[in-house]
Amino acid sequence: MNFKRFIQDYFTFSRNERKGITVLLILIFLMGIANKVIFYFEKPARIDVNLLDSASHKLGEFSDSLNQVVSPKKLFSFNPNTIDNAGLDSLDLPFTVKSNLLKFRNKNGRIYSSSDFKKIYGVTDSIYLKVEPYLVVESNVSVSVPVSMKHELFQFDPNMTSDEDFQRLGLSEKQIATVRKYMDKGGSFRTKDDFFKIWGLSERQKTILADYIFIEEKTIIAPEKKVPKVIVQIELNTTDSIALKELPGIGGILSKRIVKYRDILGGYYSMAQLQEVYGLNIQTIQKIENMVTIDTTKIKKLDLNFDGMRELSKHPYIQKNLADKIIKFRTSYGSIPKLSILRENMILNIDEYNRLRPYF
């Protein structure tokens, strides 16, 4: 009997109470829906770029330092021939220049004067003017004889010298093969400079062998002159792999890789992007850079507001992680009228923003 009264006291409601409960449930339901729908109508607040530019830039640098753990960089006196990786990393120079300097040194390249630093791929006039006061290059560098050159030195005519004699002079098998390949094609050496044009001879070898080269004067039957092949300027964003094969150092495989990577990117806007093509080295890029043009109007643009995860993530500069951030930002704050909004809201760091600008 007491239990029945308990049920009646706590679970029986009057007519007005039932109306109140019904209204309360309806209000809770409407508020839940409004909480989900309101983000689709909210637009990002307009930012006064001129007013906040300085603060935004400083905040961006601070954010990049937290994300990338980059130590402060500055210019200081350094020897480009001996500076180690840690020292290079601390220098206030573009990453491409530092990477190309290391590759140049790994191929036994050497900086003999401050002006030689301009030979490093990626060093512009403005970069050179900034770094030139800090370059420390030894003057009057003494030429030491490498182990491979500590052989017998004697007078020789490169047109008549055998492979064994070349080895006695200190040439490697690869260098001798290059000489033979040149001569098998009808080439001959008339002067010392002709011999020094052989690819692979180091500056030290040229200095040591210069006093021992003796070329006999004789009548050389000149090979039939061939009409030089005129290479037409090739536009990189519209050409096909067949045309690219005509460029020096670009074969069938590399030409297909260049076209394939271009299609994935949506087009090239700089010759420096060719370094991202697998197997394409800096030396080859330097050979072809005067034979290639880039029309940036041919670049296929991406759409920040309508491209989905699949379209955005397949771009090499975005990929899945960044594409997910962009889509979440777009879903929460509405349309994105320009790429700089993603930079101002810290979705993109400085490097990502600069690389992606031509594609939006």
78: three-class secondary structure by DSSP: strand
**Single-letter code of the amino acid located at 231:** I
Domain end (from 270, 298, 326): 298
Does pLDDT of 1 surpass 70? Answer: no
Domain end (from 298, 313, 338): 298
Neighbours of 351 (CB within 10 A): 12
How much is the pLDDT for 26?
A: 92
What is the domain range of residue 202? 147-212
Q: Give residue-wise pLDDT tens across range 53-102.
A: 556 556 655 655 555 444 466 788 888 888 888 888 888 888 888 888 88
Total-model pTM: 0.38
Crossing angle for the helix pair 319-333 and 15-41, to the nearest 10 degrees: 130
User: What DSSP state is assigned to residue 74?
Assistant: B
How much is the pLDDT for 219?
A: 47
What is the overall mean pLDDT for the chain? Answer: 79
Please tell me the distance from the alpha carbon of residue 252 to that of residue 101, in angstroms, as a whole number.
29
**Could you tell me if residue 221 is inside a domain?**
no
Quickly tell me which residue has 């109007």 as its tokens: 297
How much is the pLDDT for 69?
A: 44
**Could you tell me if residue 161 is inside a domain?**
yes
Q: Give residue-wise pLDDT tens across range 325-357.
A: 888 888 888 888 888 888 888 888 888 888 888
**Could you tell me if residue 163 is inside a domain?**
yes
**Could you tell me if residue 262 is inside a domain?**
yes
Residues 121 and 168 in one domain: no
Q: How far is CA 47 from the centre of its chain?
A: 32
How many domains would you assign to the chain? 4
Nearest partner of 111 among 87, 151, 139, 147, judged by Cα: 139
Does pLDDT of 220 surpass 50? Answer: no
Instruction: For 331, list phi and psi in degrees, rounded to 5.
Output: -65, -35
**Could you tell me if residue 356 is inside a domain?**
no
Instruction: Give the CATH number, domain containing residue 271.
Output: 1.10.150
**Could you tell me if residue 243 is inside a domain?**
yes
How much is the pLDDT for 149?
A: 42
Nearest partner of 229 among 211, 204, 252, 248, judged by Cα: 248
Q: Give residue-wise pLDDT tens across range 27-42.
A: 998 888 887 777 666 6
